[in-house]
Chains A and B, each alone.
Chain A
């Protein structure tokens, strides 16, 4: 019993030491509190999938009341900021080449005539393929606008009654991209912070020689591991709280399943990331190697998590990697917990893989810690 208490005191001393080291350096304090706030703001507002302030070139060869009606409609669209009217294909080409606009519209000479004759006509849309993402979004907008225009003229001289689609987006009714981004980004930022606190701090101790001193204490390697994991998780929870407050105050994101459940589910995620961080640290000798190791882990992890591109779009062999990626489960969990009010079964389905990842990585690191340095 006496042994048990002295071990506890020793682990607590390790944890206190970790906080003291972080606290004593103003740079560290800043690094823990400021980035979550700043990054959340920057990413939530900058990393938007919407395209605003589109500039557009129109070459209206038709120049009829009906074609001018279309131009007016485009000009009145809030997402379109600027319309350049040109009167020859030469200017159009020149302006597209020089990136004055992302899209150019050519209304053919026979536009009005064909429309009245066959009730069918075509318009040419040229998109700037250099900005493929923007081009795709703009193309979608234009399709919508032109379809609406079609409905309007059909309504005026009705050959048939147009079918209108009405779309509802569940779980995010206003298709607020910030909700998606903020929730995903919490996971990304927490991952980076956790890896920095775990992987880099052990590597730093190796560089300073203090790690060897820890190994020589009567503490067992898993106890040293606990001493590294708890401070990292505490800091991660602190950052997480800052970001949740941001999500409530700035973005009004609902928490359908309640914050208690969210905090509980995060525990498993943090444990698995801590395990990975410590695992990286055990195979690195210097901070530089650790930074490289963290980066080597981060880049594919983000890509294969479903944050940037849907997992279903990836080749099958890459999809398999997403099964061992803690972020995949975190995103599913968080989107479900915040926006969907998912049931316990679904939570559990995403919790047990995290548990297995954490168990594997922590056992591995403990074993590697124990292995005599060679």
Chain B
């Protein structure tokens, strides 16, 4: 009885073009856990969620959520679950408060119920100062918090979040994750889908989907452990990390993955393989390494483009910014920004939402 979701031999086919979106999936998900649904784009995450909440019909197989059939007892189920779709599902032309009122009424909350839930939700999301702001004017992180808050009206037992962290900066992402763990204390089961693998380590359980199949289901550390003792760092002071990696690839080293990491190259070796060409220092395995490895590793090839791009960064600047300032009324969006981007450089612009 402690399983909230039971799925057996679930298959979903789409026609035109013919795609096998979910290929014989069987899962039993335990109550009160935060479950990450991870996998590359197009692996079937959204399809699985939509079937679980009754927005899509399965082609074959059985599914029950809270002992209800999403296909037949849809409306009964909708009273017991919360859902946050991939696209922001709120009305951008309404204020935060108007949206809250609407969703509370749609869930059929009574006036007293609304009052207590609003208070709790505003405290929980920190949105109290913004209640009269149009939802469309909120930053990405605040929108997601509002979406989450609204999905919680009606006290759902299971919460489905479809890629809630897309377009959300790391600080807001952490806040969202913290909110989810607060919910877990209330006994809510959370299904959180994401393609950001660095989030996965926060989940109680992860379901790894690939091409419609469940590749792994269990505690994330269990997955990470499959690459134990296979992750290393290497580097050569006299050569650029890119050159080191290229040589390794050209010598057909048994690599599952190799990425440049600062001055070093991070390598994941294939199972029971060794490299003797370069000096290796062991590194901590990450969840991401394990996922890449279990999905068959990267296709390690020398990039034809990278070979042609000159790596000499001393050339002329392609983009020069000198004391750039942009103001919208009183608001300064960019304040005296200066930088130069040289030919052949990959230049990153980082910052939280609204930076």
Contact = CB atoms under 8 A, between A and B. Distances in A.
Interface of A: 3, 6-7, 9-10, 12-14, 16-17, 20-21, 24-25, 208-210, 212-220, 372-374
Contacts of A6: 108, 110
A359 B266 CA distance: 66
Contact of A212 (B71, B75, B85, B91): B85
B102 interface: yes
A372 B87 contact: no
B55 A217 contact: no
B94 A20 contact: yes
Interface in B154-179: 154
Given A13-B105, A218-B107, A213 B56 contact: no
Contacts of A9: 105, 108
Main secondary structure of the interface of A (DSSP, over half): helix
A216 B93 contact: no
Interface in B203-232: none
A219 B55 CA distance: 14
B152 to A, nearest CB: 13
Nearest to B58: A372
Contact of B106 (A20, A219, A373): A219
B105 A216 contact: no
B90 interface: yes
Contacts of A220: 75
B86 A209 contact: yes
Nearest to B106: A217
Contacts of B71: 372
Contacts of B83: 212-213, 216
Given A213-B85, A216-B83, A220-B75, A12 B105 contact: yes
A10 B98 CA distance: 13
* Interface size range of chain B in the complex: 20 to 34
Interface in B32-65: 50, 53-57
Contact of A210 (B54, B75, B90, B154): B90
B105 to A, nearest CB: 3
15 contacts: A6-B110, A10-B105, A10-B107, A10-B108, A17-B98, A20-B94, A21-B91, A208-B87, A208-B89, A208-B91, A213-B90, A213-B103, A218-B79, A218-B108, A374-B56
Nearest to B110: A6
A10 B105 CA distance: 5
Point out which of A25, A215, A216, A217 has the most chain B C-beta atoms below 10 A from its C-beta: A216
Given A24-B93, A218-B78, A373-B56, A10 B85 contact: no
A212 B151 CA distance: 12
Interface string B118-161: 00000000000000001000000000000000000010000000
Nearest to A372: B57
A3 B14 CA distance: 37
Contacts of B55: 212, 215-216, 372-373
Given A372-B71, A373-B55, 19 more contacts: A3-B108, A6-B108, A7-B108, A10-B105, A13-B106, A17-B94, A17-B98, A21-B91, A208-B91, A209-B85, A209-B86, A210-B90, A212-B85, A213-B83, A216-B83, A218-B75, A218-B106, A219-B106, A374-B57
B91 A17 contact: yes
Majority secondary structure, B binding face: loop
B92 interface: yes
B107 A217 contact: yes
Nearest to B99: A17
Nearest to B104: A13
A4 B81 CA distance: 21
A369 B103 CA distance: 19
A34 B71 CA distance: 46
Contacts of A24: 93-94, 134
B91 A217 contact: no
Q: Give 3 closest A-B pairs by Cβ, nearest first.
A: A209-B87, A13-B105, A6-B108
B181 interface: no
Interface in B258-278: none
Nearest to B75: A218
Nearest to A214: B106
A214 B91 CA distance: 11
Contacts of A10: 105-108
A367 B54 CA distance: 16
Contacts of B50: 373
B105 A209 contact: no
B69 interface: no
Contacts of A16: 102
Contact of B14 (A13, A210, A216, A374): A374
Nearest to A7: B108
Contact of B89 (A21, A209, A219): A209
Nearest to B150: A213
B177 to A, nearest CB: 22
A24 B92 CA distance: 11
B78 A217 contact: yes
A112 B346 CA distance: 96
Nearest to B51: A372
Contacts of B93: 20-21, 24-25
B347 to A, nearest CB: 33
Contacts of B94: 17, 20-21, 24
Contacts of B154: 218
A166 B87 CA distance: 70
Nearest to B134: A24
Nearest to A25: B93
Contacts of B108: 3, 6-7, 9-10, 218
Contacts of B78: 216-218
Most buried by B among A7, A20, A21, A214: A20
A212 B56 CA distance: 11
Interface in B12-32: 14
Interface string B184-208: 0000000000000000000000000
A7 B56 CA distance: 24
A215 B55 CA distance: 8
Contacts of B110: 6
B240 interface: no
